[in-house]
Amino acid sequence: MDSSKFYFNPEIETMDRGELDALVEERVRYTVKYAAENSPFYRKWFEKQGVDPAEIKTHEDLLDLPIISGNIIRENQPPETSEFMFRSVGWEDVFTVHETSGTSGNPKSFFLTWEDWERYSEKYARIFRSQGFGPGDRVVVCASYGMNVGANTMTLAARHLGMSIIPEGKCTFPLRVIEAYRPTGIVGSVFKLLSLARRLRAEGIDPRESGVNKLVVGGEAFADESRNYLSEIWGCPVYNIYGSTEGTMCGECDEVSGLHVPEDLVHVDIYDPHLENYVPDGECGRVILSTLLPVGAKAGTLLLNYDTEDTTVVLTRKQCPCGRTHMKILTPQREAETTWIEGTPFNRVDVERGVFQRENMDYLTGEYEAFLYGTEDEGETILRVSMECENPEVCDRDLIKENFLRTFLRYKPPLSRAYAEGTFKIVFNFTGPMRLELNRIKGRPKRLVDRR
C-alpha cells in the first residue's frame, strides 16, 4: 500500500501512542527552554512565577504553569508596552505579521517565521490528505487572504499535495469559475456554501452536477443538521476544520468522527475555569493551547498554556479507523457564543440545530438570527428566533415551530420546565430573503445576540 495516498507524514501521523507521548515530552522541554531564552514575556514570567524552566520536563509539569489569557497578550504589546513582549525572534527572522480580529479589544499581534509557515502548512496538508485531497484537485478557497492565516496556510499546504488553489477569498465569486475550472472542492462557511448553491440553481446549474466532490467548512462550529443539509444540496461529503492564528489547526478525516489534533506540533489540554482545574477526557472545558517546537526550531510567537476561550471535549486518544493515532476532539465552540438561562448553557449551534431540521428546510434558506430579551429577575426571558423563508406566503410556520421547539428543548430539562411554566418564552419571526437584521450589518454575522 502506498501510504502517501492516505497520509501526508505517515511516520508521525501513525506513530505509536507511547512514541508520540515521548516526542511530545521532548518538544515540551525544548519549547519551554526556547521560551525562556528568546521570549521577553516568558523570561520575565518564569522569574515572576519562581519557575525554573529546566524543571519543566513533562506534560504534567506544563499543567502546573499559570494560564495565559488573550488580555495578557494585549497588555504586553504596544500601546501598553514599548515592545512586543511575545515576539521571540529578531525582526530579521520575522516573515509575516498577523493580527486577530480584535472583536474583544485591541487585536492581538503574532509574528511568523518561515519555519512557522512550514509547520502551519504541514498541519493543513495532513488535514487535506486525510479528507481525500491530492494531486489534481482544484480547490476554491472562500476565506480571507489578509491578517488571518487560514487562507494562506491552505494555499501553502496545497503546494505540498499537488493541489491547485483558486484563491477567491469570498463565495460571491462569478459562477463562470465553477464552469471554467470545474473545482473539485470548496472551502467556506455553511451559509456561504448554501448561498452559492442557491445562486447556481438560480442559473439552472445543479450543485450536485458541478464537479465539486468535497466541501470543507472552517471558521465556525456548526450543527450536524446543517452539515447534513449542505451535503444533501451539494451531493458530496462535508468536512470540518478548526484553526486559529495561534496555531490550532485540527481537522476531520474521512471517518467524520472528531477532529484530529496534530499532537506533535500543538499541545491541547481541557480546562474548566469554574472548577479551576483540568478535566479528564470526555468532559467539556476550554481549549488550552501550547506551541510545540521540534528541537532546534524557531518560532516568531509561541504560547504556553494559552486560553483560546473555545470549548471542546477530548473524544478519544485511541487509534482512528483511518490509521491515525493523534487524539480527536469535538468541534470547538466559541464561549462568546454561549449564553445561560435558568442555570443552563446553550450555544448558537443549539439554535442552528433547531432551524436545520430536515422538514424545515423545505421552506427555509437556513439563514437565521436569535435575540435574548428580559431578565430572570423580572420573571421572564424571551428568545426571539428569526428565520429566512424561501417564500413566506407558503411557509409551514407551525411545522417549523414544532420541530424547533422539540429539538431545542430536548436535552435541556431546566429550559423545558421554564418554557412549560411560562418564565422562558420562545417567539418566532419569519422573513423573506435578505430581510434579517444581519443582512444590514457589515462583517461576520452574529447569529445569537444577548440583549438582556
Residues with Cβ within 8 Å of 413's Cβ and at least 6 positions away in sequence, in order, are none
What is the residue whose three cell numbers read 424571551? 382
CA quadruple 111, 113, 114, 118: dihedral sign? negative
With beta carbons less than 8 A apart as the criterion, state whether 153 and 249 touch: yes
What's phi and psi for 218, nearest 5 deg? Answer: -140, 165
CB 325 within 8 A of CB 319: yes
Q: Which residues are within 8 A (CB) of 402 and not within 5 positions of it... i.e. 6 or more apart?
A: none
pLDDT of amino acid 203: 95
C-alpha grid cell, residue 333 = 465552540
- The contacts of residue 304 (CB under 8 Å, 6+ apart) are 31, 32, 35, 42, 62, 65, 68, 290, 291
**449 grid coordinates:** 445576540
The tens digit of pLDDT for each residue in 98-150 reads: 998 655 568 999 999 999 999 999 999 999 999 999 999 999 999 988 888 99
- CA dist 191 and 446 (Å) reads 13
Residue 180 main-chain phi, psi, to 5 deg: -80, -45
Q: Which residues, other chains included, contact 440 with Cβ-Cβ below 8 Å and sequence gap of 6+?
A: none
Peptide bond into 294 cis (omega under 30): no
* N- to C-terminal Cα separation, the chain: 59
**What residues contact residue 314 under an 8 Å CB cut-off, 6+ apart?**
268, 270, 281, 282, 327, 328, 329
pLDDT score, position 230:
97
pLDDT of the residue at 1:
46
Q: Rounded to whole angstroms, how far apart are CA atoms 107 and 62?
A: 27
Residue 100's region, left for phi above 0, alpha for psi from -120 to 50, else beta, is beta
Domains in the chain: ranges and CATH: 3-117+244-331 (3.40.50.12780), 132-236 (3.40.50.280), 337-450 (3.30.300.30)
CA angle in degrees (0–180, nearest 5) for 339-341-345? 50
| 162: its cell numbers | 499537488
What confidence score (pLDDT) does residue 103 get? 53
Q: Name the pTM for this structure.
A: 0.92
- Torsion, Cα of 409, 273, 72, 58 (10° steps): -120
pLDDT tens for the chain, 452 residues long, are: 456 579 999 999 999 999 999 999 999 999 999 999 999 999 999 999 999 999 999 988 988 889 999 999 999 999 999 999 999 999 999 999 999 865 556 899 999 999 999 999 999 999 999 999 999 999 999 998 888 899 999 999 999 999 999 999 999 999 999 999 999 999 999 999 999 999 999 999 999 999 999 999 987 789 999 999 999 999 999 999 998 888 889 999 999 999 999 999 999 999 998 888 999 999 999 999 999 999 999 999 999 999 999 999 999 999 999 999 999 999 998 888 889 888 888 889 999 999 999 999 999 999 999 999 987 666 789 999 999 999 999 999 999 999 999 999 998 999 999 999 999 999 999 999 999 988 887 777 789 998 88
The pLDDT score that the predictor gives to residue 376 is 62
Q: Can you tell me the distance from the alpha carbon of 8 to that of 130, in angstroms, rounded to the nearest whole number?
A: 8
